[in-house]
Structure 1
Amino acid sequence: MTKLTETQTIILSAGAQRPENIALPLPKGLAGAAAKMAVTKMIEHGWLQEVDANLRRNEPLWRETGDGHGTTLVVTDAGLLAIGIEPVAVKAVVTIGKHATEAPAPKVPVIREGTKQATLIAMLRRSDGATIEEIMAATGWLGHTVRGAMAGALKKKLGLEVSSEKDEVRGRVYRIPEVLP
């Protein structure tokens, strides 16, 4: 087992205390060639890993990759073990912290009875399904509105699966398959 230097211990200990185990910023006084040499050695040992930086979360940059992106340094599980920290304990603390800051679960959308959307869903749940023309006649919508409601309101917002198949007589028929418990 390789013995850690004081600088390596400081970098790993600081990173273990930060969200996502980010090892940056490096200690004061460690810059330039000395920083590069220390980090390169730690990456070789598997204690640090270079990962894409999330600039939206203002993660500190280790280096720029030249394509408008950059990388940051993260302490690996091996790095945590090298300083005597069990990786599972760190992940548990981070998970608890994440759950405390997460927004509450979104409300499940309620389908109001008597609306055109409810009519659309009822038609699609029939065993024979419905065509665009049949839905247009029942709702008074134009064809593009029917297709938009199926793609937007039903699929994206309500999470319903809408399938379609070609029927020899009726043309394209759309359905919401039965959900088995």
Structure 2
Amino acid sequence: MPNLTKTQSLLLTTGAKRADNIAMPLPKGLHGAAAKKVVTMMCERGWLEEIDANTRKGEPLWRETGDGHGTTLVVTDAGLLAVGIEPVVVKTMAAVRNRAVLASASASASTSSTKKPTPRTNTKQAQIIALLQQPGGASVKEIAAVTGWLPHSIRGLISGGLKKKLGLLVTSEKQDGRGTVYKLDAT
């Protein structure tokens, strides 16, 4: 996890809590040249992205483009990871918030089944899934060597992220010399 300033951390965590990960409005006291410098640097690092603002939805503007439109800032998946938030979790929470808004707006709640989140590619979560799908599975030490994560984080991802959120069947067994080995059926 990169070293972030308080302002960067506040901007990313606050944006992660908002609908569609919109980073606007900026924190109090951050405006003018300082805001431009912080935002430019965060965009260069891939933590923020400038997108067209939907003014009909009331999205706040970062800057006007001159053609009657404007842009807003959105926290990217890299920005979420920079503050230690798994993008899958944020997308799941956004889906929960959207369902709550739709349910309160509509008097007749629909009984459609909810879609389970799917694993993302090119993430540490995907790396761990690949390790668990190997014929011999993987121990916490082996996973830590690949990801650099601490053991409690690995066990938390397996229990909460893989088993509960994604609904994957992860089995574990103790093996001499390896400790607890976790396996995931490749099917």
Say whether the fold is shared (TM-score over 0.5). yes
Task: Indicate the SS of the match to 1:23.
Answer: coil
* Structure 2 unaligned blocks of 5 or more: 111-187
> CA RMSD, aligned part only?
1.7
Q: Does 1:60 align with 2:63?
A: no
Provide TM-score, normalisation by structure 2. 0.54
Task: Indicate the SS of the match to 2:56.
Answer: helix
Which residue does 1:21 correspond to in 2?
21
Task: Indicate the SS of the match to 1:72.
Answer: strand
- String of CA shifts for 1:35-84, please: whole Å, max 9, x gaps: 00000000000000000101011100000001110000000000000000
1:98 Cα deviation from its structure 2 partner: 1.4
Which residue does 1:42 correspond to in 2?
42
1:11 Cα deviation from its structure 2 partner: 0.5
Between the aligned partners of 1:24 and 1:100, the Cα distance in structure 2 is 22
Which residue does 1:30 correspond to in 2?
30
Between the aligned partners of 2:32 and 2:59, the Cα distance in structure 1 is 20
Between the aligned partners of 1:79 and 1:59, the Cα distance in structure 2 is 20
User: Counterpart amino acid of 2:100?
Assistant: A
User: Counterpart amino acid of 2:39?
Assistant: V
1:101 Cα deviation from its structure 2 partner: 2.5
Between the aligned partners of 1:101 and 1:15, the Cα distance in structure 2 is 18
* Structure 1 unaligned blocks of 5 or more: 107-181
Greater C-alpha Rg: 1
Q: How many residues align?
A: 106
Task: Indicate the SS of the match to 2:42.
Answer: helix
Which residue does 1:92 correspond to in 2?
92
Task: Indicate the SS of the match to 1:55.
Answer: coil
Between the aligned partners of 1:39 and 1:93, the Cα distance in structure 2 is 25
Percentage of identical aligned residues: 64
User: Counterpart amino acid of 1:73?
Assistant: L
1:105 Cα deviation from its structure 2 partner: 8.7
Task: Indicate the SS of the match to 2:85.
Answer: coil
Which residue does 1:3 correspond to in 2?
3
